[in-house]
């Protein structure tokens, strides 16, 4: 810790550790609170449902399943299994781990940046990281991105300490950090390329490069099992080939700014001005910081785009979440070029104000994945269905739009109804989808079913009516959720005179 806190220069040397911890701690708490606020409001969406389903498995089932699917998140699912076992499955509890990781990342950024460019830039960088739209998104996402970003920050900090104090214990810690980040999310291994370039630019000595090479080799060897399994599961992201995932928007906006074009515009104008003055900045105390930040943002992006073009579909913007700290540092360098602290914080405030609409939208009830309504579906069935009613939730089409995901996200709300479509659990399929009865084949499962709730994506129940109405069912008034429709079909009571 002494090596980490050296950049915090104050009049009384005895106050250095205290000042350093306090600055980093306060920014970390601020960042965690920014992400935690209203984190329990948005409905789960399909990717978070995958996290929940994995966390519910036994350890043996989990590792067997990861051999077939989602090995890239092996470490994260393992952590979440423990976390959910302690804190439960509510939206707030599952997402709070990501919010805490954001706080840890912000605190690490303060220390990291201060070690290169001074404490003022460090605090600004930590605050900017906390409020960037991609950060506020991953801070309320029950996925691995916030944790991998936090590990990326601390691994980079440890790297810089190891480069200045080249003792093997620091390189051991460095290797462990990168391995941890890679097992949390496979793409974090790209940090090795970032760190190689950083060392070549600013710490190019034979001893440093040799020790880094040994540490990198250890990382690669330790991650070989994960890499081999993940390559075998490449088909799980084949859906990317059908998406417009590589364009100006997904490259320049989404990785750091989510859907906020306004924050992106401010940031890229700022970076352009910084580039114009690049020679002067590179020659200043902030030169090393500028190089570090630029490499952190650019190298993983370029490598991923090249791999996407050469190997096949691999790119989507959120996979670069671990590069957001680099963007925050770039902006901090630019904002602190002025000697006037007030101007710096006005610029930070402009970023916060520009990102506010996106921040609020992220925390709305249907703020996930363009309007996930799984919670709306579950709540409606919970309050309206009678014990013993049958239910059929559409399980076809795009995974992110399938109403059946509501059953996986909120199983307690469906405990009192009969899932007549279920055949076999998802652990038998090698995917996160159960084996279910196709809708045209549901007739044979309707024996003794007087009331059935049908949930379909979209607004039309034509296909449902075509099957159920000829069987004598009567449709009750449908209920529309954000992007699904729910309808109750009942068989009319048989009068005493019938038969």
Q: What is the pLDDT along the chain (499 residues), one digit of tens a residue?
A: 455 445 444 333 344 455 667 899 999 999 999 999 999 999 999 999 999 999 999 999 999 999 888 888 999 999 999 999 999 999 999 999 999 999 999 999 999 999 888 899 999 999 999 999 999 999 999 999 999 999 999 999 999 999 988 688 999 999 999 999 999 999 999 999 999 999 999 888 899 999 999 999 999 999 999 988 888 776 665 545 455 678 999 999 999 999 999 999 999 999 999 998 878 888 777 889 999 999 999 999 999 999 988 887 888 899 999 999 999 999 999 999 988 999 999 999 999 999 999 999 999 999 999 999 999 999 999 999 999 999 999 999 889 999 999 999 999 999 999 999 999 999 988 889 999 999 999 999 999 999 999 999 998 898 899 999 999 999 999 999 999 999 999 999 876 554 4
Which of 326, 295, 266, 323 has the alpha carbon at shortest distance from 198?
295
Q: Locate tokens 């890239």: which residue?
A: 72
Compute the distance between CA of residue 247 and CA of residue 259 in angstroms, rounded to an integer: 14
Look at residue 9 and give its three-state secondary structure: coil
Extract the tokens encoding 81.
């299994």
Extract the tokens encoding 409.
């996200």
The DSSP element (H or E) to which 172 belongs, if any, is helix 168-184
* Residue 489 phi, psi (nearest 5): -115, 130
List strand residue ranges (DSSP E) for 125-233, in order. Answer: none
Compute the distance between CA of residue 358 and CA of residue 259 in angstroms, rounded to an integer: 7
Look at residue 11 and give its three-state secondary structure: coil
The DSSP element (H or E) to which 457 belongs, if any, is strand 451-457
Percentage helix, strand, coil, to 5, in the chain? 70, 5, 25
Q: How many Cβ atoms sit within 10 Å of the Cβ of residue 28?
A: 23
Residues in the chain: 499
Compute the distance between CA of residue 490 and CA of residue 450 in angstroms, rounded to an integer: 6
Q: How many Cβ atoms sit within 10 Å of the Cβ of residue 235?
A: 9
Query: Parallel, antiparallel, or unpaired for β 435-436 and 479-480?
Result: unpaired
Q: What is the pLDDT of residue 314?
A: 84
Compute the distance between CA of residue 176 and CA of residue 164 in angstroms, rounded to an integer: 18
Which of 173, 36, 157 has the alpha carbon at shortest distance from 107?
157
Q: What is the pLDDT of residue 165?
A: 81
Contact 452, 446 (CB under 8 A): yes
Compute the distance between CA of residue 407 and CA of residue 420 in angstroms, rounded to an integer: 12
Compute the distance between CA of residue 8 and CA of residue 66 in angstroms, rounded to an integer: 44
Q: What is the pLDDT of residue 235?
A: 65
Mean pLDDT of the chain: 91
Extract the tokens encoding 251.
């490259």
Distance from CA of residue 404 to its chain's centroid? Answer: 22
* Residue 486 phi, psi (nearest 5): -120, 130
* Residue 495 phi, psi (nearest 5): -80, 165
Contact 403, 484 (CB under 8 A): yes
Compute the distance between CA of residue 139 and CA of residue 39 in angstroms, rounded to an integer: 8
Look at residue 25 and give its three-state secondary structure: helix
Q: Locate tokens 């579909």: which residue?
A: 313
* Residue 283 phi, psi (nearest 5): -85, -5
Q: How many Cβ atoms sit within 10 Å of the Cβ of residue 69?
A: 19
Look at residue 210 and give its three-state secondary structure: helix
Residue 332: partners with Cβ closer than 8 Å, 6 or more residues away: 113, 121, 122, 124, 125, 128
Compute the distance between CA of residue 163 and CA of residue 115 in angstroms, rounded to an integer: 12
Compute the distance between CA of residue 93 and CA of residue 83 in angstroms, rounded to an integer: 9
* Residue 473 phi, psi (nearest 5): -75, 150
């Amino acid at each position: 810790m002494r090596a980490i806190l050296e950049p915090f220069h104050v009049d009384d040397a005895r106050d250095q550790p205290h000042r350093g911890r306090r600055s980093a701690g306060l920014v970390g708490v601020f960042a965690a609170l920014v992400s935690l606020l209203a984190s329990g409001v948005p409905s789960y969406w399909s990717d978070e449902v995958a996290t929940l389903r994995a966390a519910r498995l036994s350890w043996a089932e989990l590792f067997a399943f990861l051999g077939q699917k989602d090995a890239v998140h092996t470490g994260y699912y393992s952590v979440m299994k423990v976390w959910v076992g302690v804190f439960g499955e509510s939206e707030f509890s599952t997402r709070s781990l990501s919010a805490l990781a954001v706080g840890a990342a912000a605190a690490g950024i303060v220390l990291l940046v201060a070690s290169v460019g001074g404490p003022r830039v460090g605090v600004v960088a930590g605050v900017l990281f906390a409020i960037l739209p991609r950060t506020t998104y991953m801070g309320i996402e029950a996925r691995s991105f916030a944790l991998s970003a936090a590990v990326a920050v601390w691994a980079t900090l440890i790297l810089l300490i190891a480069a200045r104090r080249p003792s093997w214990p620091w390189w051991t810690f460095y290797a462990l950090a990168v391995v941890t980040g890679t097992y949390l999310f496979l793409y974090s291994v790209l940090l090795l390329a970032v760190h190689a370039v950083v060392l070549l630019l600013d710490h190019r000595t034979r001893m440093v490069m040799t020790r880094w090479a040994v540490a990198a080799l250890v990382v690669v060897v330790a991650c070989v099992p994960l890499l081999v399994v993940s390559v075998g599961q490449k088909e799980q992201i084949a859906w990317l080939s059908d998406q417009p995932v590589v364009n100006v928007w997904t490259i320049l906006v989404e990785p750091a700014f989510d859907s906020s074009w306004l924050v992106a515009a401010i940031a890229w104008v700022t970076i352009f001005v910084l580039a114009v003055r690049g020679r002067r900045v590179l020659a200043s105390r902030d030169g090393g910081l500028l190089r570090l930040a630029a490499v952190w943002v650019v190298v993983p992006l370029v490598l991923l785009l090249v791999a996407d073009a050469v190997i096949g579909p691999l790119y989507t913007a959120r996979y670069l979440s671990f590069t957001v700290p680099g963007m925050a540092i770039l902006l901090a360098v630019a904002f602190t070029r002025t000697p006037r602290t007030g101007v710096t914080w006005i610029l930070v405030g402009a970023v916060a104000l520009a990102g506010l609409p996106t921040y609020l939208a992220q925390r709305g009830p249907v703020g996930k994945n363009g309007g996930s309504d799984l919670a709306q579906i579950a709540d409606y069935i919970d309050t309206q269905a009678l014990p013993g009613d049958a239910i059929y939730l559409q399980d076809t089409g795009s995974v992110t739009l399938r109403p059946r995901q509501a059953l996986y996200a909120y199983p307690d709300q469906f405990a009192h109804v009969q899932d007549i479509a279920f055949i076999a659990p998802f652990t038998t399929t090698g995917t996160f989808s159960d084996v279910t009865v196709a809708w045209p084949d549901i007739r044979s499962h309707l024996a003794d079913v007087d009331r059935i709730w049908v949930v379909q994506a979209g607004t039309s129940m034509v296909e449902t009516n075509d099957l159920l109405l000829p069987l004598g069912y009567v449709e009750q008034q449908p209920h529309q959720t954000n992007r699904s429709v729910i309808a109750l079909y009942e068989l009319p009571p048989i009068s005493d005179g019938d038969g």
